[in-house]
Structures are given as C-alpha cells and as structure tokens.
C-alpha cells in the first residue's frame, strides 16, 4: 500500500481489516461491517457485527467477543435476524448499525438501532445483559431516524440521547441531516428535542452529521460524529469529534474542524459502498488514555484505529 501523506490522530491497525466477508465462518457473506462496540466491566470487547449474507434477502447481526480487542470469536446464532413474527418484526428488515451503551446504573446494556422496512426507517430499543438474547423494549423514534445513541448515565435525572433525524422533502441524495439531543424519564418516552450540531461546518460534513455513543471524559463528553460530503461521484463518509459539557450536554464546548479519519486505504475506498469510514461508537480506556474505534470500511469490512484521548480532546478544544 502506498504511504499515506498526512498523519491522522487515529492510527490504523496494521492488521486491518479485522473482519472481512471472505473470512466469515458461517457461510458466504458479502458484507461484515459497521459494528456496535462496547467494553464489558470485566474487560472484554464486544462487537455487534452488521452482516449481509450472499443471496439472503435480509441482514443480520452477529456478536463477536474478544479478550485482547484483536482476536474475536463470533457467535453463530445471530443476536438479531429478520422475523416478522417477533415483536416489532414487521418494522425490522435490516438489523444493522447497532449502538450499544453499557449503563452501570441499570446493570445492563442498551442497544439502539435502526429498523428499516416499507414503513420507513424508525429506531428500536433493546436491553441485554449477556449478548445471547436481547429483550425488545420499544420503538423510540419515528421514520426517518436511524441513529439514536444513548449517553451511558442519566444527566439531570433523565436519560439522554443524540440522534440524526432525516430532512424530509429534499430528493434523497440531497437530504441533509443534523444532530439533535432529547431527554426521557424512562427510555420509552422522548421529548425536549433540541438541535445540537449542524452539518456544513467543513466540506467533509457538508451534507450530514450524525452521532455515535458518547464517551465520558473528565473534560467533557467526547462525541465522535460521522460527516457526509456529497460529491459528484457519490457520498463520502468521514469521522470527526466534538466535546459536550458534562452537565449540560446540549452545550458544545469543543469541535474539531478537521476530520479524524477519512477513507484513504483500499478497504475504506473500495467495497460495496465506496468511500466510507463509519463508526457507531468507540471504546476508551480512561487509564491508558487510549481510544479504540472499530469502524466499517466501505460497508464491507471491519477495521480498527486507535488514538490518544488527550490529543483528540485537545483538538476539539483548539478547534483545529
Ligand atoms: C448510512 C448507514 C450506514 C452506512 C452508510 C454508508 O446511512 O446506512 O450503514 O455505512 O450510510 O453507506
């Protein structure tokens, strides 16, 4: 591979991709991508892989588990697959892009994810304790909304989430999107919606910005975002970062203008959907200050990039 010219704050793992469809152990897959990600209290890394099998009509989600964050064992039975008989099953024909939040106060993981069907794309909420089964809780966003991300603790006594509702009315390829924040007493009923971050502060996010699961740091909530640029050759997805006030997460206290990661390697530039790096969250080690981002490349592979928390927070604060 040709040497990349610019140093990124996120360093790609030299063994990328971590998951490629050719190596999927349970049949012929075309896409293994966009993983939900979380670290368990006992230090395991859990990924919720978005999987599209060759010649299957619908996607599935398989859980992968690792002790070292590099070598994973994939569970054969999907955590989510399409079954119209299941609760919310008739809304749910494309179970990908899970957002996972470990919520210590409730002693469980919450999974928010898009559910796509002929009814449009709404968002579902699940709860799990073991990633073997997930209990369906509620439909928590109307179409079109595919990106709710839950904060890992209550703030001001309420659950808080970020999401990215679609604009409606524009032609699909021009439909823009911004990040909103909202609150709930019980995870089921959401309100007090407010706009938080607007697209278009740099060309790499000219069309859309969307959230990931926020990470608590001493300096504020570190929030990785995706940004979409509309080019004549199609959409290009990059990753960026903003910092939110710990007690008032509706306040942006820092924002990197540069992207953190943009499609540059063959795994990111070529695949089913070219020019995509896409993350649903990241895993931070507050002690070692390492940030690990498991991200989809070109909607085809799973890759890893690591960075230093302080450097990224500083980047947000300085607005580089
Ligand atoms: C988004 C989502 C992601 C995907 C990205 C690029 O809207 O659908 O699953 O990675 O588009 O195709």
Domain coordinates of the chain in residue numbers? Answer: 11-318
- CA–CA separation, 9 vs 49, rounded Å? 25
Distances (CA, A) of 97 to 35, 36, 241, 312, 314: 6, 6, 19, 24, 29
280 bridge partner residues? none
171 Cα: distance to centroid of ligand 1 (angstroms): 17
Side-chain half-sphere exposure of 168, counting CA atoms within 13 A: 7
95 Cα: distance to centroid of ligand 1 (angstroms): 12
Per-residue pLDDT of the chain (320 residues; tens, 9 = 90+): 566 666 789 999 999 999 999 999 999 999 999 999 999 999 999 999 999 999 999 999 999 999 999 999 999 999 999 999 999 999 999 999 999 999 999 999 999 999 999 999 999 999 999 999 999 999 999 998 988 999 999 999 999 999 999 876 667 767 899 999 999 999 999 999 999 999 999 999 999 999 999 999 999 999 999 999 999 999 999 999 999 999 999 999 999 999 999 999 999 999 999 999 999 999 999 999 999 999 999 999 999 999 999 999 999 999 99
- CA–CA separation, 180 vs 28, rounded Å? 38
User: Which atom number of ligand 1 is nearest to the Cα of residue 276?
Assistant: 6
Please name the CATH architecture into which domain 11-318 falls. Answer: 5 Propeller (2.115)
- CA–CA separation, 319 vs 114, rounded Å? 31
| Site residues for ligand 1, CB cut-off 6 Å | 34, 96-97, 237, 273, 276, 278, 296, 299
294 Cα: distance to centroid of ligand 1 (angstroms): 15
The residue whose C-alpha atom lies closest to atom 4 belonging to ligand 1 is 299
User: Which atom number of ligand 1 is nearest to the Cα of residue 299?
Assistant: 10
User: Which atom number of ligand 1 is nearest to the Cα of residue 278?
Assistant: 10
Q: Go through 241-268 and write b for each residue having 16 or more CB atoms within 10 A of its CB, e for each that does not.
A: bbbbebeebbebbbbbebbbbbbbbebb
214 Cα: distance to centroid of ligand 1 (angstroms): 19
The reply to whether the predicted model has a pTM over 0.85 is yes
Distances (CA, A) of 214 to 23, 72, 80, 137, 150: 31, 24, 23, 21, 7
Give the torsion through C-alpha atoms of 256, 261, 264, 265, to 10 deg.
170
Q: Is 34 left (phi over 0), alpha (psi -120 to 50) or beta?
A: left
139 Cα: distance to centroid of ligand 1 (angstroms): 20
79 Cα: distance to centroid of ligand 1 (angstroms): 20
Choose the residue to mutate in 30, 227, 276, 279 for probing ligand 1, maximizing ligand atoms within 8 Å of C-beta. Answer: 276
User: Which atom number of ligand 1 is nearest to the Cα of residue 97?
Assistant: 9
- CA–CA separation, 259 vs 269, rounded Å? 16
Burial of 117 per CB tally in 10 Å (0-12, 13-18, 19+): middle
> How many CB atoms lie under 10 A from the CB of residue 135?
12
163 Cα: distance to centroid of ligand 1 (angstroms): 14
């Amino acid at each position: 591979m040709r040497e990349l010219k610019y140093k990124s704050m996120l360093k790609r793992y030299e063994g990328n991709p971590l998951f490629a469809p050719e190596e999927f152990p349970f049949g012929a897959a075309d896409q293994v991508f966009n993983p939900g990600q979380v670290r368990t209290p006992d230090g395991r890394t859990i990924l919720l892989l978005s999987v599209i099998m060759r010649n299957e009509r619908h996607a599935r989600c398989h859980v992968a588990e690792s002790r070292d964050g590099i070598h994973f064992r994939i569970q054969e039975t999907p955590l989510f697959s399409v079954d119209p008989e299941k609760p919310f099953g008739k809304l749910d024909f494309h179970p990908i892009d899970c957002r996972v939040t470990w919520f210590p106060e409730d002693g469980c993981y919450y999974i928010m994810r898009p559910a796509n069907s002929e009814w449009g794309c709404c968002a579902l909420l699940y709860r799990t304790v073991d990633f073997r089964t997930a209990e369906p809780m509620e439909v928590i966003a109307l179409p079109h909304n595919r990106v709710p991300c839950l904060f890992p603790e209550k703030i001001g006594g309420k659950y808080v989430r970020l999401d990215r509702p679609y604009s409606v009315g524009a032609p699909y390829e021009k439909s823009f999107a911004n990040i909103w924040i909202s609150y709930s007493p019980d995870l089921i009923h959401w309100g007090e919606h407010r706009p938080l971050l607007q697209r278009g502060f740099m060309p790499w996010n000219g069309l859309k910005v969307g959230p990931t699961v926020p990470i608590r740091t001493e300096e504020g909530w570190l929030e990785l975002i995706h940004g979409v640029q509309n080019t004549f050759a199609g959409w290009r997805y990059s990753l960026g970062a903003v910092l939110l006030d710990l007690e008032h997460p509706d306040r942006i206290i820092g924002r990197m203008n540069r992207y953190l990661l943009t499609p540059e390697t063959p795994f990111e530039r070529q695949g089913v959907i070219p020019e995509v790096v896409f993350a649903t969250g990241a895993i931070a080690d507050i002690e070692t200050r390492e940030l690990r981002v498991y991200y989809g490349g070109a909607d085809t592979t799973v890759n890893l990039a690591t960075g230093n928390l302080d450097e990224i927070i500083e980047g947000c604060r300085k607005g580089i």
